[in-house]
A and B are shown apart, each in its own frame.
Chain A
């Protein structure tokens, strides 16, 4: 199963990078969303997908799933939500100011040279 997961993660990263490199700011934001999904699954897979029961203490159970990656991912999910919200509003504001979402036009100017 890890092998399949590794491929899924690779696809997620690939799609994310492809979107992030594009000229449309909208696609950049979509890309960061995919990137965080990929990262979460990567952490989960690195820890191992074994374990027959969730990491909640129960009588007679010894084979718990690894709790550590789960704790890390839980934090990461919330943070990535914060980042996504921030990015969306940043985009909203930038679009409002510049009337464009073309990254090539948003590269600033030479005033500061």
Chain B
């Protein structure tokens, strides 16, 4: 079967969701939706076995073959891992949402349509081999994220958050598109596989660094890296299932996916390594530091997500180092890619469960403010257990999956110190130091999250609702995730074999050929190593900081509100909104004259430039017909009539002059052997003049309405320019015939094909009969318009007239 179609399964299922919602009122719509991710998960898991043996699967659906654009589903270790995360976590999130969102109060039809749309978009990103379709899916995630954040659209904060995420991620997406275009110019292909294969031939290209920066802008905005992370905390206005799914487990990982996918192309670049590792590490520190400041449960998780994404990003950056080292020392640098992928899996598990717990707390107590919460441990024991497991995994403690990947992370950061290219031996020491500091704060906010919510004393008055444990259905998903978190600690090498190693091979093509070549064994105990010492240090310092939190939390007030990135964003938004408004007011005057002037000037400019740039202006005097005395006289009469129309002081004179012009045109038709035209023109002109006279009885005199001399001269100049342009076009058009006219065909076949003698008539009613039919339709529409304008009155207008 062509599995590329499966990418579109969710969005196709979304079509029937509203109908199900309307017709089956008793059953929560989520139950139907749940089928989709579960089915997809079961389908994709079948690929795991063949992928871990090093196989890849390709399925192609041509889209625009002439431009070499197609939907190509490419399944290798990286895409299968992401596809399973998307469908697996997707299933759990849908299950959770069934209990989280009330079927009576919420607009479930909208919610699930957006969610399914997102699923398609996300699967499209991770499976697309074609950069153009990847970009399309990428923007589709931004749009569905926008819709989901703004799901409770009556709240101002929701709309603000939705817009903010859209502005930032779509900006990044457009930059990324630019990067893709540059890549496709350099690598002469839209296919990622081919670009990777061609990469060595274009690393010295002038656009190479620019392409890196543009593509990283896309990745950094999507994955909420510094300084673009500011959209993520505001995106927490979305319903919690959405936060758990889009804003921690999947969508924000699209940027990481992009970096991983393009590592083989860009790994050779120093800029790439420094930017990805540096920004990642900065984000790691920044996010963890500011997470402690937050008071909203979801805001803490949002900042911790930012920080953890930074951690994975820095590992992906460090993984590129492996391309520059060979021989015996190489092994240590290969840990980074493995650690990154491994932590990505761990993070999806523990952060998903933590978000769901935050949702449960919100749902059951009515508040997410950590200052009001406390002492929930005895009331919500299951939620507490899940939160505890998730947080400890996040803090990097055994026996949870997070411990293992955290150790590997420290190993990779320590290894950077030994890398002796690109100034790493001077600055490399900074990496483990920053990583350590950030890990201390990670430890602190993990404890802060779980113990301030569940530990301590209960503040009875502060909580809006009497808290109780959540229903079993709501707990099911977080419990499953928490069990996975623990399980990963005990079977890390099975997870590594099935998911991590194939993904590492896909990410570091060229370094390995088969997943079994990745020679990394994960173990919880690996001796008294620097990593373990660092972890112990983190625990000790972290505990001290956590205990003394109230003393040092004041330092967050040092940063003035005016200097934050959010203020910058708001300022930019207001500025662009006001600036654009002012700009458009500048030229959108509401005056017909202004708009027509823009049009006429553009027409003249474009035509004249094209005419002379293309060297199209030619006059061929030899093809001209001889000057005809009648023609000359008619021309003079016509020009005099035209002047009279302009200078006429009364409307009657103007109408008569206009009639004069019309009759002269009819005379031209006679002279140029067009009897049908002449007849029609005479009839029409007569009727027109009659019509004008009829209507003008009710109309005002010709007035100039105070047009100054300047305006008139301006009008005259534009008019003259248009006149000259048209004259030049008329001459050139007559003098050169690029393709033979179809007229000869009409002349030849008019009798044999259409059995008529009057060629013009036959063309109208026979060869181009539909044209004439539509012409009649146009006249009918005009007639209806005329009738309604004379007869109909707006009822509102009538009322106000009566009241006067």
Which residues of A are at the interface with B, using a C-beta cutoff of 8 A?
1-24, 26-28, 30, 33-34, 37-38, 40-42, 44-58, 64-68, 70-71, 73-75, 77-79, 81-86, 88-93, 95-97, 101-104, 106-108
Stretch at the interface among B450-458, B468-476, B562-570, B674-682: B674-682
Neighbour of A65 across the interface among B596, B673, B772, CB < 8 A: B673
Q: With an 8 A cutoff between CB atoms, is B739 at the interface? A: no
Most buried by A among B589, B632, B727, B747: B727
Bound: A83/B778 CA distance, A: 9
With CB as the reference atom, state the residue of chain A lying closest to B632.
A4
Question: Could you tell me the distance in whole angstroms from the C-beta of A25 to the nearest C-beta in chain B?
Answer: 9
A52 & B646 in contact (Cβ 8 Å cutoff): no
Q: A15-B719, A95-B700 are in contact. List 8 more A-B contacts (CB 8 A).
A: A2-B734, A7-B635, A12-B642, A15-B643, A55-B674, A58-B757, A68-B743, A81-B687
User: Which A-B residue pairs are the 8 nearest by beta carbons?
Assistant: A14-B723, A10-B727, A107-B590, A18-B719, A82-B782, A67-B759, A71-B763, A65-B673
In the bound complex, do residue A34 and residue B642 qualify as a contact, i.e. CB atoms below 8 Å apart? Answer: yes
> In the complex, are the beta carbons of A74 and B680 less than 8 A apart?
yes
- Bound CA span A70–B759, Å: 10
Mark interface residues in B758-778 (1 if CB within 8 Å of A CB, else 0).
111001100010011001001
Chain A residues with CB under 8 Å of B643's CB are: 15
Smallest CB–CB gap between B339 and chain A, Å? 55
> Do A1 and B628 touch across chains, with their CB atoms under 8 A apart?
yes
Cα-based distance from A35 to B22 in the complex (angstroms): 56
Interface bits B622-652 vs A (CB < 8 Å: 1, else 0): 0111111001100100110011011000010
Q: Whose C-beta in chain B lies nearest to the C-beta of A33?
A: B658
Of listed A4, A64, A71, residue having the most chain B CB within 10 A: A71
A5 to B720, CA, bound (A): 16
19 contacts between A and B (CB under 8 A): A8-B639, A12-B642, A14-B724, A15-B719, A18-B715, A21-B596, A34-B645, A34-B661, A45-B730, A46-B734, A53-B673, A65-B673, A67-B746, A70-B677, A71-B760, A75-B772, A79-B779, A84-B688, A91-B699
Residues of B within 8 A of A7 (CB): 635, 727
Query: Of A17, A45, A57, which one neighbours B718 at CB under 8 angstroms?
Result: A17
> Is B691 in contact with chain A by the CB < 8 A criterion?
yes
Residues of B near A68 (CB, < 8 A) are 741-743, 746, 763
- Determine which of A8, A48, A83, A104 lies in contact with B734 in the assembled complex, contact meaning CB atoms within 8 Å: A48
Known: A34-B645, A85-B786, A101-B700. A45 touches B734 (CB 8 A): yes
A30 to B645, CA, bound (A): 8
Residues on A with C-beta less than 8 A from B741 are 47, 66, 68
User: B731 at interface (Cβ–Cβ under 8 A)?
Assistant: yes
Q: How far is the CB of A5 from chain B (nearest CB, A)?
A: 7
Number of A-B contacts (CB under 8 A): 272
**Residue of A with least CB distance to B620:** A2
Residue of B nearest to A48 (CB): B734
Cβ contacts under 8 Å, B691 to chain A: 84-85, 88
Q: What DSSP secondary structure best describes chain A's contact surface?
A: helix
A37, closest chain B residue (CB)? B665
Most chain B beta-carbon neighbours within 10 Å: one of A17, A23, A79, A93: A17
A2-B731, A78-B779, A89-B790 as given contacts; A65 in contact with B674, CB under 8 Å: yes
B625 touches A1 (CB 8 A): yes
* A17 adjacent to B631 (CB under 8 Å): no
- Given the complex of chains A and B, what is the CA–CA distance between A93 and B788 in angstroms? 10
A56 adjacent to B722 (CB under 8 Å)? no
B704–A23 CB distance below 8 A: yes
Please give the distance in Å from A79's CB to the nearest CB on chain B. Answer: 6
Q: Which A residues touch B726, using CB under 8 A?
A: 9-10, 13, 38, 42
Cross-chain contact A26 with B747 (CB below 8 angstroms):
no
A55 touching B759 in the complex, CB below 8 Å, given contacts A13-B726, A82-B779 = yes
Answer whether A3 and B624 are a contact pair too, CB < 8 Å, given A49-B672, A57-B759, A91-B695. yes
* B677 near A9: Cβ-Cβ < 8 Å: no
Q: Which residue of B lies closest to A109 (CB)?
A: B590
Q: Does B639 lie within 8 Å of A17, measured CB to CB?
A: no
Q: Which of A5, A52, A64, A78 has the most CB of B within 10 A?
A: A5
For the complex, what is the distance from the CA of A83 to the CA of B661, rounded to whole Å? 18
Using Cβ atoms and an 8 Å threshold, which residues of chain A touch B772? 75
User: Within 8 Å CB of B662, what residues of A?
Assistant: 33, 37
CB of B688 within 8 A of CB of A103, answer no
Q: Which residues of B have CB within 8 Å of A95?
A: 698-700
Q: A15-B642, A78-B779, A79-B775 are in contact. Are A56 and B759 (CB under 8 A)?
A: yes
Inter-chain contact A41/B763, CB cutoff 8 Å: no
Q: Is the CB of B775 within 8 A of A78?
A: yes
- The yes or no answer to B597 lying at the interface (CB within 8 A) is yes
A37 vs B771: C-alpha distance when bound (angstroms): 20
Confirm or deny: B738 has a beta carbon within 8 angstroms of a beta carbon on chain A: no
Q: How far is the CA of A5 from the CA of B665 in the complex (A)?
A: 11
Contact between chains at B627 and A70 (CB < 8 Å): no
Chain B residue numbers with a CB within 8 Å of A79 are: 775, 778-779
Q: In the bound complex, do residue B625 and residue A82 qualify as a contact, i.e. CB atoms below 8 Å apart?
A: no
List chain A residues, Cβ under 8 A from B729. 42
A71: chain B residues within 8 A (beta carbon): 760, 763-764, 768
Q: Is the CB of A81 within 8 A of B673?
A: no
Q: B715 touches which one: A22, A52, A84, A96 (CB < 8 A)?
A: A22
Q: Is the CB of B768 within 8 A of A5?
A: no
Q: Which residues of A contact B742 (CB under 8 A)?
A: 68
Chain A residues contacting B597 (CB-CB under 8 Å) are: 21
- B82 to chain A minimum Cβ distance, whole angstroms, is 46
B684 contacts partner chain A, Cβ-Cβ < 8 Å: yes
Cα(A22)–Cα(B647), bound, Å: 13
Cβ contacts under 8 Å, B589 to chain A: 107
Which of A34, A40, A57, A75 contacts B775 (CB under 8 A)? A75
Contact B703 A24 (CB under 8 A): yes
Q: Nearest chain-B residue to A62 (Cβ)?
A: B747
Instruction: A45 to B684: give the CA distance in the assembly, Å.
Output: 21
Q: B632 — which chain A residues lie within 8 A by C-beta? A: 4
Given A28-B592, A64-B747, A103-B592, CB of A75 within 8 Å of CB of B661: no
| Contact A22 B704, CB 8 Å, known A15-B646, A55-B747, A74-B677 | yes
B723 near A55 (CB under 8 angstroms)?
no
Q: How far is the CA of A68 from the CA of B744 in the complex (A)?
A: 9
Partner of A70, one of B593, B639, B760, B786: B760
- Do the beta carbons of B716 and A75 come within 8 Å of each other? no
B591 contacts partner chain A, Cβ-Cβ < 8 Å: yes
- What CA separation (Å) do A89 and B704 show in the bound complex? 21
Which A residues lie within 8 Å of B381 (CB)? Answer: none
* A13 neighbours in B (Cβ, 8 Å): 719, 722-723, 726
* A3→B707 CA distance, assembly (Å): 34
Q: Please give the distance in Å from A65's CB to the nearest CB on chain B.
A: 4
User: In the complex, which of the residues B628, B673, B763 contacts A51, with contact meaning CB atoms closer than 8 Å?
Assistant: B673
Q: How far is the CA of A88 from the CA of B627 in the complex (A)?
A: 37
**A101 to B643 CA separation, bound complex (whole angstroms):** 22
Asked if B44 CB lies within 8 Å of chain A CBs, one says: no
- Indicate if B751 sits at the interface (CB-CB under 8 A): yes
Q: Assess whether B152 is interfacial by the CB under 8 Å rule.
A: no
Most buried by B among A70, A89, A96: A70
| B645 lies within 8 A of A57 (CB) | no
B785 at the interface (CB under 8 A from A): yes
